[in-house]
């Protein structure tokens, strides 16, 4: 199927920043695109050929949208999987495949998937209600601290809590959840794998994420990760095993924990472009967004190696500010060589909302990391 300067259409469910960045490639290659998103002024709206406003979790909205495209992909996991299953049965190419989304949409199903495929992951137990968790604590079957994860509403650390006491249990959601062992995490790593229908599979170098202590959100991503070669090798092996088990088409970001004992555990995966791959726009031979488009259109995959080291800094709304956004001192940071900001186009900021990111490229990763810390001091996302 030829998508280059033809009427064939690639549909994307979700029009946020990931959708917008996917469209840089479709613009470059003159590939026709349609985007579905609930927000009238979604960031991706400007760069697609047609935009439909609609609820991504609604069967009819997703089905009707999918009927008009030739290949359908996603930039967000929370979409109506039943509609995708029906579309796939009726001949629309849906990547990632619906079965992958069904597994990952529920954290309990996802963890059981790792268990059944012998993929290393933190030990866990599934609970139907919060009352059952409380009972397990009373009976001495669970002891503090542990990690609580809501089965179905996770996103960027919302729906995840480290629980130290009975009092803290009271603030959690009452619904189905996963209780995980609290792992001693030495480093959070991630490996992005990509596959095309014909069978080719490639992976990016191992990257390292540093988290914001308060927001439990990724603050910096470093490529390459500052780890010994044998640890990187192990991380890649686990990521490839995970990707093969899913058998998904397109990108699969595999989030990993390197424990203080030196083990590599899979935390979770995302079958779409991922925050830990944004550095690839400037630093890799083929950026993750182009790679995903290549994969879902069954084109040869590109080279994943880096041209240079990079650190990505997430630009999130500063605490205490909400309303029309201002990027304070952005002109100053543009004056530093090797610093490239990306602004997603969200008009209003709120505390910790992802508004953009900045990539710093430098031959030395340690220098790039220092520049990143300085940049955080200079640039701030505030409101008017």
Nearer to ligand ADP, 132 or 259 (CB): 259
Site for ligand ADP (CB under 6 A): how many residues? 21
* Cα(276)–Cα(208) distance, integer angstroms: 8
Q: Residue 267 in 3-state DSSP?
A: strand
Sites for ligand ADP among residues 257-276 (CB under 6 A): 267-268
SS3 162: strand
User: Rounded distance, CA 227 to CA 237, Å?
Assistant: 15
What's the closest the beta carbon of residue 160 comes to ligand ADP, in angstroms? 4
Which tokens is 97 given? Answer: 């495949």
Give the one residue of 126, 156, 186, 219 binding ligand ADP; rule: CB under 6 A: 156
- Provide the token pair at 144: 């503090």
120 binds ligand ADP (CB under 6 A): no
Ramachandran class of 144: left when φ > 0, alpha when ψ lies in -120 to 50, beta otherwise: beta
157 interacts with ligand ADP by CB under 6 A: yes
Residues 203-232 within binding reach of ligand ADP (CB under 6 A)? 211, 216
CB of 217 to ligand ADP, least distance (A): 8
3-state class (DSSP) for residue 277: helix
- Binding range to ligand ADP, per CB under 6 A, among 22-30, 66-74, 178-186, 364-372: 178-186
Q: Minimum distance from CB of 68 to ligand ADP (Å)?
A: 31
Distance (Å, whole) CA 275 – CA 198: 26
Backbone angles phi, psi at 165, to 5 degrees: -155, 165
Nearer to ligand ADP, 41 or 260 (CB): 260
Q: 178 exposed, middle or buried (CB, 10 Å; 0-12, 13-18, 19+)?
A: buried
From the list 30-38, 183-191, 297-305, 361-369, the region that binds ligand ADP by CB under 6 A is: 183-191
Residue among 34 and 267 whose Cβ is closer to ligand ADP = 267
Whether residue 375 contacts residue 360, with contact meaning beta carbons closer than 8 Å, is answered with: yes
Q: How far is the CB of 281 from ligand ADP (least distance, A)?
A: 22
- The Cα 281–Cα 306 span in angstroms is 10
Q: Does 160 bind ligand ADP (CB under 6 A)?
A: yes
Question: Which part of the chain contacts ligand ADP (CB under 6 A), choosing from 19-27, 30-38, 174-182, 294-302?
Answer: 174-182
Mark the segment that binds ligand ADP (CB under 6 A) among 63-71, 181-189, 232-240, 337-345: 181-189
Minimum gap (Å) between residue 187 Cβ and ligand ADP: 10
Distances (CA, A) of 235 to 171, 209, 231, 377: 35, 14, 6, 32
Structure tokens at 381: 């996302």
Kindly state whether residue 155 participates in binding ligand ADP, applying the rule CB under 6 A. yes
d(C-alpha 24, C-alpha 47), whole Å = 8
Under DSSP, the state recorded for 282 is: H
Residue 196 C-beta: closest distance to ligand ADP, Å: 26
**Cis bond leading into 87, ω under 30°?**
no
Under the criterion CB under 6 A, does residue 183 sit at the interface with ligand ADP? yes
Alpha-carbon distance of 38 to 255, in angstroms, equals: 28
To ligand ADP, the closest distance from the beta carbon of 194 in angstroms equals: 20
Residues 58-87 that bind ligand ADP (CB under 6 A): none
Phi, psi of 271 (to 5 degrees): -90, 60
Span near ligand ADP by CB under 6 A; candidates 182-190, 238-246, 273-281, 347-355 = 182-190
Nearer to ligand ADP, 51 or 257 (CB): 257
The interface region with ligand ADP, picked from 36-44, 57-65, 149-157, 361-369 by CB under 6 A, is: 149-157
In the complex, the residues that contact ligand ADP under the rule CB under 6 A are 122, 147, 149, 154-160, 180-183, 185, 188, 211, 216, 255, 267-268
């Amino acid at each position: 199927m030829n998508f280059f300067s033809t009427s064939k259409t690639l549909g994307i469910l979700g029009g946020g920043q990931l959708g917008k960045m996917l469209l840089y490639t479709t613009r470059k290659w003159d590939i026709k695109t349609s985007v579905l998103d609930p927000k009238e002024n979604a960031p991706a709206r400007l760069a697609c050929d047609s935009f439909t406003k609609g609820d991504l979790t609604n069967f009819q909205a997703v089905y009707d949208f999918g009927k008009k495209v030739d290949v359908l992909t996603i930039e967000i996991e929370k979409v109506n999987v039943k509609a995708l299953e029906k579309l796939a049965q009726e001949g629309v190419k849906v990547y990632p495949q619906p079965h992958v989304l069904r597994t990952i949409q529920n954290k309990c199903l996802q963890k059981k998937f790792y268990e059944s495929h012998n993929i290393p992951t933190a030990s866990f137990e599934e609970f139907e209600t919060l009352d059952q968790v409380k009972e397990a604590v009373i009976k001495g079957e669970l002891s503090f601290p542990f990690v609580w994860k809501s089965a179905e509403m996770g996103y960027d650390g919302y729906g995840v809590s480290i629980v130290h006491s009975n009092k803290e249990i009271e603030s959690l959601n009452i619904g189905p959840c996963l209780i995980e062992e609290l792992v001693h995490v030495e480093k959070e790593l991630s490996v992005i794998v990509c596959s095309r229908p014909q069978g080719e599979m490639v992976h990016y170098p191992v990257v390292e994420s540093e988290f914001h202590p308060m927001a439990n959100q990724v603050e910096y991503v470093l490529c390459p990760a500052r780890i010994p070669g044998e640890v990187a090798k192990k991380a890649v092996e686990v990521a490839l095993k995970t990707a093969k088990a899913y058998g998904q088409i397109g990108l699969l970001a595999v989030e990993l924990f390197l424990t203080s004992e030196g083990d590599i555990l899979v935390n979770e995966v995302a079958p779409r472009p991922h925050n830990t791959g944004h550095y690839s726009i400037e630093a890799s031979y083929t950026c993750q967004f182009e790679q995903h488009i290549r994969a879902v259109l069954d084109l040869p995959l590109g080279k994943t190696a880096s041209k240079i080291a990079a650190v990505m800094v997430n630009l999130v709304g500063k605490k205490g500010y909400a309303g029309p956004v201002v990027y304070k001192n952005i002109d100053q940071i543009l004056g530093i060589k090797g610093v490239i900001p990306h602004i997603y186009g969200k008009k209003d900021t709120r505390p910790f909302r992802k508004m953009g990111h900045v990539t710093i490229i430098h031959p030395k990763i340690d220098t790039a990391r220092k520049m990143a810390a300085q940049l955080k001091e200079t640039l701030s996302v505030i409101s008017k």
